[in-house]
């Protein structure tokens, strides 16, 4: 059976969808899994041993025949995408599965599954499996199974990046920004964390634009002797490799946090309690993943990006967590 998984949104969402590929391969190793994503997510998708082929959404829009050439048996729209759904129908993919909560799926999908992500108590990675009902498969995997189904392999780390790593200290990535997709722990906290933990080597990651924001808002963090600035300097494949080489990461709800968890690294997520951004929906899933979140129900930041709850998590709490991290042999 050839199955196409379509998830054409952001990096963290894609990571949490990869276990579907692992599930299909576990059902039958001869199943072929094609994964449609945006161009910029190619490296993470191709890092999964359970994905046979990556197709870029941009390439399909330019040449819809690419989808027809796959001769797939089924396509799952894990993220609703009206453009790809329209092409999937035109190219006559026999089974086209999507949520019933998008009007265009009534036009372009012939299997519609009714479920709400917004109001569910399930994790995003578990919710993705709801679409399997379109194949008469009913599964709600636990976190242990999800960990096993990522199938991520770490790319080779270039020598110039390998040389940045400390041989004596625990190496930790700080990824403070989220391109506005998540509530963020204040930069003052990241600065204090690095300053108070001089026995650790820290690396700031993010896009070039995010690096410029950090430089504008808290330039002192780059002046610390145990902090190195990698913002805007890494391709996604290099970031994956670098995450695979450090001991762990501290971040809000972002793609790199989920990559670290999937690779079995220490992944400390700092989260707000507000639904649906809360850990119940978006926590990192991995053997060494953990979250810090204020234990209360709150929606005060619904109309503002500033979250008092996430910033109530103290530098001391985070320091206590990273103090437990062991340097890898």
Quick: pLDDT tens for 79-117: 999 999 999 999 999 999 999 988 989 999 999 999 888
151 touches 21 (CB < 8 A): yes
CA–CA distance, 152 with 51 (Å, rounded to integer): 10
What pLDDT score was predicted for residue 48?
A: 98
Same domain, 171 and 42: no
> What's the token pair of residue 211?
């690096």
Provide the domain count of the chain. 2
CA gap 266, 170 in Å, rounded: 11
Q: Check which CATH number belongs to the domain holding 184 and give it.
A: 3.40.50.2000
Q: What's the confidence (pLDDT) of residue 112?
A: 94
Q: What's the CA gap between 42 and 37, in Å, rounded?
A: 7
Residue-level pLDDT at 9: 95
Domain's final residue, options 131, 149, 167: 149
User: 138 is in which domain, residue-wise?
Assistant: 2-149
What pLDDT score was predicted for residue 304?
A: 77
**Shared domain check, 110 and 35:** yes
Do both 106 and 175 map to the same domain?
Answer: no
Is 327 within the bounds of a domain?
Answer: no
Task: From 119, 149, 179, give the residue that closes a domain.
Answer: 149
pLDDT digit string, tens, across residues 39-48: 999 999 999 9
Model pLDDT, residue 7: 98
Examine the domain organization and report whether 124 and 22 are in the same domain.
yes
Q: Does residue 328 lie within any of the structural domains? A: no
Does residue 144 share a domain with residue 207? no
What is the pTM for the complete model shown? Answer: 0.96
Angle at 252 between CA 153 and CA 274, to 5 degrees: 125
Statement to judge: residues 103 and 192 lie in one domain = no
| Cβ pair 99, 128 in contact under 8 A | no
Binned at pLDDT 50, 70 and 90, residue 182 comes out as confident
CA 129 – CA 124 distance, rounded (Å): 9
């Amino acid at each position: 059976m050839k199955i196409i998984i379509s998830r054409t949104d952001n990096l963290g969402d894609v990571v949490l969808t990869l276990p579907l590929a692992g599930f299909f391969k576990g059902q039958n190793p001869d199943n072929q899994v094609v994964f449609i994503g945006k161009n910029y997510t190619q490296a993470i998708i191709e890092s999964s041993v359970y994905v046979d082929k990556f197709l870029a959404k941009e390439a399909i829009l330019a040449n819809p025949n690419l989808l027809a050439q796959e001769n797939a048996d089924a396509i799952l729209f894990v993220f609703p995408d009206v453009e790809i759904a329209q092409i999937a129908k035109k190219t006559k993919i026999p089974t086209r599965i999507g949520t019933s909560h998008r009007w265009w799926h009534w036009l372009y999908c012939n299997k519609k599954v009714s479920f709400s992500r917004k109001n569910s108590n399930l994790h995003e990675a578990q919710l993705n499996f709801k679409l399997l009902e379109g194949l008469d498969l009913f599964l709600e995997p636990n976190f242990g199974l999800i960990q096993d189904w990522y199938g991520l392999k770490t790319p080779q780390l270039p020598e110039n990046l390998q040389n940045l790593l400390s041989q004596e200290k625990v190496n930790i990535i700080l990824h403070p920004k989220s391109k506005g997709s998540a509530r963020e722990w204040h930069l003052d906290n990241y600065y204090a964390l690095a300053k108070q933990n001089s026995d650790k080597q820290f690396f700031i990651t993010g896009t070039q634009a995010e690096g410029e924001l950090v430089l504008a808002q808290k330039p002192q963090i780059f002046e610390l002797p145990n902090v190195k600035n990698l913002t805007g300097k890494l391709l996604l494949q290099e970031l994956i490799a670098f995450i695979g080489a450090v001991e762990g990461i501290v971040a809000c709800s972002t793609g790199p946090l989920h990559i670290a968890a999937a690779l079995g690294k220490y992944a400390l997520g700092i989260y707000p309690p507000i639904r649906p951004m809360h850990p119940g929906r978006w926590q990192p899933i991995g053997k060494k993943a953990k979250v810090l979140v204020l234990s209360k129900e709150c929606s005060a930041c619904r109309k503002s990006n500033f979250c008092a709850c996430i910033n109530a998590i103290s530098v001391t709490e985070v320091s206590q967590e990273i103090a437990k991290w062991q340097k890898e042999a």
